[in-house]
Structure 1
Amino acid sequence: MDKKDFIQTEILEFLPDAVIVHCLGKIVFANRVAAQLAGADSAQALIGRSIEDFIPAKNSDEIKRKIKTLLKQKQQYSKWELTRVDGKTILCEVASTVIKYRGRTSILTIIRDVSERYRIEEELIRQRSYFQQLFENSPDAIIMVDNSDRIMAANPSFLEFFGYSEDEVKGRPINSLIVPRHMEEEADGISNTALNGKVVKKETVRMRKDGSLVEVSIIGYPIFINGVQVGIYGIYSDISKRKQAERDLHESEERYRKLIEYLPEAILVHVEGKVVLANEAAAKLLGAPGAEDLLGMEFLDIMHPDYLEITRIRLKMVLENGKDIPMREQKIIRYDGSFLEVEMSATWFNYKGKDAVLSIIRDITERKKAEETINRLAYYDILTGLPNRVLFKDRFMLELAHAQRNNQMLAVLFLDLDRFKSVNDSLGHRIGDDLLREVASRLKNTLRKVDTISRLGGDEFIILLPEVSKEEDVKVVTKKILSALQKPFLVSGNLLYLTTSIGVSTYPKDGEDMDTLIKNADAAMYKAKDMGGNCCYVFADSINTEVRERIFMLNELKDALAKGQFILEYQPRFNLKTGRINGVEALLRWRHPQMGLMPPAKFIPLAEETGMIIPIGEWVLETACALNKSWQDAGLPPVRIAVNVSARQLQSVDFPQTVNRVLCNTGLKPEYLELEITENAVRGNVEMCLDTLDRLKEIGVSISMDDFGTGYSCLSHLRRKDISILKINQSLFRDLNGGQSDRVIIGSIISMAHQLGIEVTAEGVEEKEHLDALERMECDHVQGYVFSKPLPRESIEELLKKHGGTSNVFS
């Protein structure tokens, strides 16, 4: 390459356009821009390639002809379609000239990609066409005016709407053409605003060629070309029908307003919850100074709290579904804060084009008073205000059905006042009536709200006690009644003493219908009279109450285990030195469907006596061990779980085998099971019990002596190696802060136990002072409400997570 070719090549390399040199159809030079245009990796990759490689086949012949012409003319400008390396076709402007390159006749071609420019130009043409079609075919009247307010173009809709031809409007000032004289100033203001580059929207009146006026909506848009405003687009829409509809609606609303204003019933119209229309009747009903004072008020603010939510729901139904709500009774709040009983309806209403609710409110105070009077006469005793026999029967039937469904008791009490006739005879019926009213008042104050007291007539009263658990509860009530009526009555200055005789019958024992129960209660009342009065007699009380309860409990206990009514609660035991949980006691509870949650003291003695404690105790043992193993499997800190063992279990020769089997079945290691026995448990057969303890100790479980110091003295048994833990009962340290002797006793027990290698647990600790004292005495463990009451499974697991590891409960 000579110096001249080198200089040319360097210049061509830095041109911003693509440059190639080709000789006899082969590329001999390409700059970097050419490589980018062709999609090649480098300019060198193009050297030696044929020009035809980049020419679409359809254009090949045409390009060959252009090259032949170029060789004659020496220079040529044209558009070529070229194909890139990736196959994409691009449109290019091409300038070619014939040159000498390296001594050979060659063609230098400069190529510029104009694909995007042509695309934009085509898009502009398409948009102009689209706009022209939109302009020509729009149903709205559209014009273009210049900065002198003269019409440059008007679409067919404009010409048709205003009645002009194109020649009549073109070049004419728009305002002189369609603006009435009296509105010229307004029209000039619209034009000036739009000519200042602002969008204008206006509803007004314009004039057609025939002089008729038409209501229109005008939108004026400024037209900019290259940032310079050259005119305005004006869009006119016919709004005559809408305006007429609005006038008609306004007239209709005005008629409605006048109608509402003069109606005698209270009417409120509210939109989006706010009152927009009210009449004077509504103001009077609500105690407002005038109807205008109600405007803007939140409609729901007048609703009584008991009716607020249901009113909100009803209004939503009206607005969303158009469903009318007929008159409903409810309460509202007046201006002075007082409550008023009303009837209220709600109807959908169109208020000035908006969804509204029209509410009619009617005062029913007088009607309710009349209904109340009628109801009182029909269902209540006029003298005392107590329910009469009709209402008593209604309530009885309801409570009887409830008792039957839920397998509950109910009781009927028949009362007759002792020596009331003498009051009437000596002081007159007026004093007697006053006395009956006082008796009724005392009875109401003595009984529950769910109980029903009725006056049958004269000095006889009958009482219904629903939801009674047992007859003992009824006797408690009768004692309260007797006590209340024994106190002297002061009636019209007379100090009167009165007593009553009460007969009791219960469902279902003494009858299953009202008449039978009242008859039996009446018979029992006469029995009470025979006994001298001022007492209570229970119908058919020959069966001992305790025996009946025992039979009931026994029957229920038989099925309790099979029905899954037993549950366990868990109380944690804390190490006084570390403050961590090191044990949990499993405590049995009976969740009875009628009697609720019962503690062990209520049923364990019966279970012990009947032998049912054996399967119950085995269930407790297996449940507690399985749970403890699950805690360990879940990664909770290992603790010892304590299970109470009854005397009956301890005296069973198979009990150690049962414990061993449970440990094997659950996978719990023996060192994590503690069996709690009481001092009294070893009294029956001492030798057998001690042998059982030896066998249990061989298994590897821990034995604790529960309630130490409260039962039979077992001090001699402490010397045995079976006992590893001594549990001090709360009764021994309840007065720990009260005297030196209590502290000496507790301290001696702890010291003695430690000398024998036995740990000491204080259970039932409820006060911080006791805790501090026990810590000073070097008690090993504590258990009680000072830290935690017995807990369900979920709660004790959370506590184990918190205090079973390194967490100190004292910190």
Structure 2
Amino acid sequence: MVNRNKLLLIEGDSTEGKLILEALVDPRASSFDVDWVRLLSDGLKRLGERKTGLVLLDLCLPDSEGIATFEKVFAAAPHIPILVLSRLNDESTANESLKRGAYDYLLKDHLDRYTLTRALRHVIERKRVEDVLFNEKERAQVTLNSIGDAVLSTDISGNVTYVNPVAESMTGWSRQEAVGRPFAEVFQIVEGSTHKPSRNPVDMAIAENKTMSLTPTCVLIRRDGLELAIEDSTAPIHDRFGKVTGAVIVFRDVSASRAMTIKMSHLAQHDSLTDLPNRVLLTDRLTQVISLARRTSEQLVVLFLDLDHFKNINDSLGHAIGDKLLQSVAQRLVACARHSDTVSRQGGDEFVVLLPQIAHVADAAVLAQKMMTALAAPHFIAGNELRINASIGISRYPNDGQDAENLLKSADTAMYYAKEKGRNNFQFFKADMTTRAVARQSLEGLLGRALERHEFVLHYQPKVDLQTGEITGIEALLRWLQPDRGLIPPPQFVPIAEESGLIVPIGRWVLREACTQLRAWLDVGLRRISVAVNLSGVEFRAKHFLEGVRTILEETRLEPRFLEFELTESVLMNHVEGSVSRLQALKALGVQLAVDDFGTGYSSLSYLRRFPIDALKLDQFFIHHITADPNEAAIISAVIDMGKKLKQRVIAEGVETREQRNFLQVHGCGEGQGYYFSHPMAAEECAKLLRTGIAKNRQ
């Protein structure tokens, strides 16, 4: 370890060496630990031991003279301060040694104890200060080279004086290339949004003598053209008197964090499944558009769209398929809209379309119909051919609401009215719809408690053999006897039950009640007929539906052949492949299957051949017109013939007159059902009818 007071005296003259030695070991002065050698070679050996802290060197030695003496010592110990001893007549050589690294020189002609010790103390102190400064500089250099931020400094003229490794990487300029160049050449920055040049932060910091920062969207253009989003802080550099001498800029690459911020902002305002604007962004845009429309006295329109029976698909095929369908729906809606429109997903199967600056309200109706047509086309997803319709409510500014909340509420109300009108249509908001919406919400609340309060009852309507007049079966029809409102018709509450999912437990109750009642009639010896139960799409595609049917049949001891399920065409065609497999499972159980309201959907003969159907129930719309419209009569005749060829029973619904019955008899229709034969009735009345049969004049 080096001792700063360990002095190596290299002096060839014995007399002068002794004088110097005596001066340095004087007890009145601070002592030095002096090692005296007379030859340069011995001095170099001592330096090799690395224990010396200071060298006092005479340039004229027995084995070396002149500047070469200094060079050899300096080469052996470049970091040890060297104080040269010289004669007045050789002062030029001493000066040359200063240029080559000596700390100072002393003239032997003017050397005394005070001068010598003072000079040595000065050299030691200078060396100490240099070491401190070097360590501080080295620590700063290491810090600047190792930190994650880029650092670049300039002089007062704006020329680069320092570039750390991170700055080299970010600017594309090496330190050797950058130093001395104008700051603006090395550090090229532009505004991220406009790509216009940004103000030079160094010039601003120097001119205003304060810390400055770039704009938040600033972009650094690297030497190779790559653009990097950056954040910075630029500060002026001052000398010891407070004068500005340059500037330093510390900056970092925030491309990843800025991209993440943009992504997070996008996610906060867009639906993750469809990437459409979500409720938050829609509300913001709607508020802005309303503000503009208020100033310009323009109209705007909101369309609230809800998919019909989407839950059936989600429950039967799973959420993965349901999500794909929602994405397909979103794409078609966007394709229908204008560039200025906003198509958003509110959640679930609800979408909202904002139409700003619309000249004619009729244009909204055109778009609504366009969207309904686009959605109705088959969606081919994961090998499934899916069909979906939509109900759309339309509200207008300023007629139907003065703010975003009320406009959306009005459109939502109109959408529910469209569902009540049979779905797959659009409705403009009207003031009286609000009253109906409130009534609907009230009804939904009552419906949720109706099952546990035993408010449901079943009525039964017979099906009759049109040739013999014999009762062939009965259809179980759900009725809701609400204590405060009386008998509520099925069209008023069944759609609500389907949308809320309550139809599943209600349907399970209907099935159990119908099977229990028929088993009771069979047990007392009444006519051996079947009971038909209507099946909604929600029930048909419910996860444990088949197991539930099997359990109820076992618990009620009813043979499966006495149970018939009626399903509409739309339910069967919603997902053909899934319908086929479920129907086959029901047939394997032994129950009968019928297509209800046949003729109102979009099934085809090829599909009917694939379904294991036992009966076709002709929709009452055709029956009501067969005696007045030859076209309807021709359709009925064709369907009856088709049913026979497919070996399926044909049942006419809604038979109300003798003329209708006669027409059906003549054309070979097998069975009929309707008011002509009997109204739906309670179980007690139905039991009497099963005992007596249909009146002769109605057969």
In which range does the TM-score fall when normalised by the shorter chain? 0.3 to 0.5
Q: TM-score, structure 1 length as denominator?
A: 0.32
Q: Which of the pair is proportionally richer in strand?
A: 1
Greater RCO (CA < 8 Å, at least 6 residues apart) = 2
Q: TM-score, structure 2 length as denominator?
A: 0.37
Structure of higher CA gyration radius = 1
